[in-house]
Amino acid sequence: MSMKKSKRTYRFILLIVFALVNALMLFGIGQIFSYFNTGADRSSILHTNLPDAKVYLPKVTWEDTINPGRPIEKTTLARITSHYLQSWYVKQVAYATNDPFGIEDFYTKSARVNLINHIEEQQQKNIRVASTSLQHNLSLDFYSLDGQMAVISDRNASQYQQIYKEDTLLFETKINPSYKAVLLLEDGFWKIRHLVKEVPQELATQDKLKESGFAEVKGQQLLVDNTPFIMRGINYYPQETPWDMFGDHFDLNVIEKDFKIIKNKGLNTIRIFVGYEDFGKAEVDPRKLKKLKEVLDQAELMHLKVIVTLFDFYGNYEVLDWTLTHRHSEQIITSFKSHPAILAWDIKNEPNLDFKSRGKTNVMAWLKEMILQVKKYDPNHLVTIGWSTIESATLLSSEVDLVSFHYYEDLAFFEEKYVKLKSEIDKPIVLQEFGISSNKGIWNPFAPSEATQARYHSSFSKMINTHEIHSMPWTLYDFTQVPSEVVGSLPWRKQKQKHFGFIDKKGNPKKAFTFLGL
């Protein structure tokens, strides 16, 4: 009896194994057919999916497209532009990774030799180059009658490079060389045949003149309308839409009401935040720009100045990502370069918090470049950076107009630290964020109460007035919701962030409200 059971069990196991083997074979055959069916996809064969326009967007200006022989078609010119930029991108990726993947798509066989030799030399020396081109000024020198060859000049191409040996930065540089490029049409792609660096030309620059009526800096003094101006402000989000001010629930009536509260407290400045992804990254959403304009217009009606903090929640900083942030800032800055309500552009909120995860070298290099970009597009408004600590405030102080920092440390040490900073910096200094949460409750019985918060702001107000400090506490309102992206998902962190305001969740002034604007 037991032998019969064993045979049945054995047969059952064999049937299961047979079924599994057949299933695996059918799956494998299906994958092979799938491979051959998609194998003719030219984009996967030629790796053309790599240099996507959404990951690399240097500014391109065609200065001359008139060809003395055959006129060039607009579609052809667009393809030459696209493939020329993609040739730059794949080369930059290859030099950064020491991997020639993708080069064959945009360089002819003879042109690839030098590139591959260069990559091999870098590998031998443990060197890599992180680089990007930021701007190309192109002109068409020749376009053949058969439509198979084009010669273009790239004058004063703006490039940034970081040279690393293993993980150590050797040096960084920004250059503006000129190139002559010969492109051949092969297999439907305009490929680089020659790319020759020419003798440097004089870089023609035209200084943009500052319009009248905007804030100015003279030493440690801030002037608005040629009159000394002391910033008495507030960091602002509408109570129902914190960290989502320009989203689907944008309500100008709510903002108008809040601005009246701010103005009636004797404040003269607000600080608002523009999210990088929220505004569309490299392709800024015009609907967001419209909402931002409405906020700025409302601030102007209420005689409030505005500090606009850019790139909120941005955290890449890699050199190859720079062209995207350039396009983002260009669209926003040029839209509001003459808006009278803006006091300053704040490049980034607390970027030093990204030093550890993203690398201080990358963050600092990006900040320096972005300061240049903002000033390039807007000579009218001041520029600052909102550092998270007073110790970081001296970073890039020579590059910005206002030196801004945040202070959430022990109040007892503030005055000494501020006096020391002021002795080192000959520019206006802004206490851009400070405050204390009144989150005492069942979940945190030892946290500060509303009375403690009021005493804190009373003491801070005295120091602010004594030293005439430009100041902006965090924040007008308590919030019911705080996104996890702000402080993480831990409930006690969210709870703390909800109670920094001067007005509680029900819209009632808290005890600290008395000291707002004093």
| Per-residue pLDDT of the chain in tens (518 residues, 90 and over written 9) | 455 556 566 666 666 766 666 666 666 655 555 444 443 333 333 344 455 557 899 999 998 888 766 789 999 999 999 999 999 999 999 999 999 998 999 999 999 999 999 999 999 999 999 999 999 999 999 999 999 999 999 999 999 999 999 889 999 999 999 999 999 999 899 999 999 998 655 545 555 666 767 999 999 999 999 999 999 999 999 999 999 999 999 999 999 999 999 999 999 999 999 999 999 999 999 999 999 999 999 999 999 999 999 999 999 999 999 999 999 999 999 999 999 999 999 999 999 999 999 999 999 999 999 999 999 999 999 999 999 999 999 999 999 999 999 999 999 999 999 999 999 999 999 999 999 999 887 767 888 999 999 999 999 999 999 999 999 999 999 999 888 888 788 887 888 999 999 999 999 999 999 999 87
Which CA distances in Å does 243 have to 128, 274, 432?
A: 38, 9, 17
425 close to 403: Cβ distance less than 8 angstroms = yes
Name 388's Cβ contacts closer than 8 Å, sequence gap at least 6.
Answer: 350, 352, 353, 405, 406
184 close to 190: Cβ distance less than 8 angstroms = yes
Region of 443 (left: φ > 0; alpha: ψ -120 to 50; beta: rest) is alpha
The pLDDT of residue 12 = 64
Rounded CA separation 129/289 (Å): 36
175 close to 150: Cβ distance less than 8 angstroms = no
Among candidate residues 63, 62, 70, 86, the one with its CA nearest the CA of residue 183: 86
Which CA distances in Å does 334 have to 307, 326, 366?
A: 16, 12, 20
Rounded CA separation 239/248 (Å): 15
Name 143's Cβ contacts closer than 8 Å, sequence gap at least 6.
Answer: 67, 69, 70, 72, 76, 149, 150, 151
Rounded CA separation 84/191 (Å): 8
DSSP state of 407: E
Bond from prior residue into 475 cis (ω within 30 degrees of 0): yes
For residue 142 the two structure tokens come to 């020749």
The pLDDT of residue 466 = 96
Among candidate residues 433, 446, 405, 435, the one with its CA nearest the CA of residue 499: 435
Name 370's Cβ contacts closer than 8 Å, sequence gap at least 6.
Answer: 310, 311, 325, 329, 347, 348
The pLDDT of residue 461 = 96
Q: What angle do CA 132, 138, 141 make, to 5 degrees?
A: 135
The pLDDT of residue 4 = 53
292 close to 246: Cβ distance less than 8 angstroms = yes
Residue ranges and CATH numbers for the domains of the chain are 59-197 (3.10.450.240), 216-515 (3.20.20.80)
274 close to 236: Cβ distance less than 8 angstroms = no
Give the gyration radius of the chain's Cα atoms. 29
The pLDDT of residue 491 = 80
Rounded CA separation 259/300 (Å): 10
Which CA distances in Å does 215 have to 182, 207, 349, 380?
A: 48, 19, 21, 8
The pLDDT of residue 35 = 43
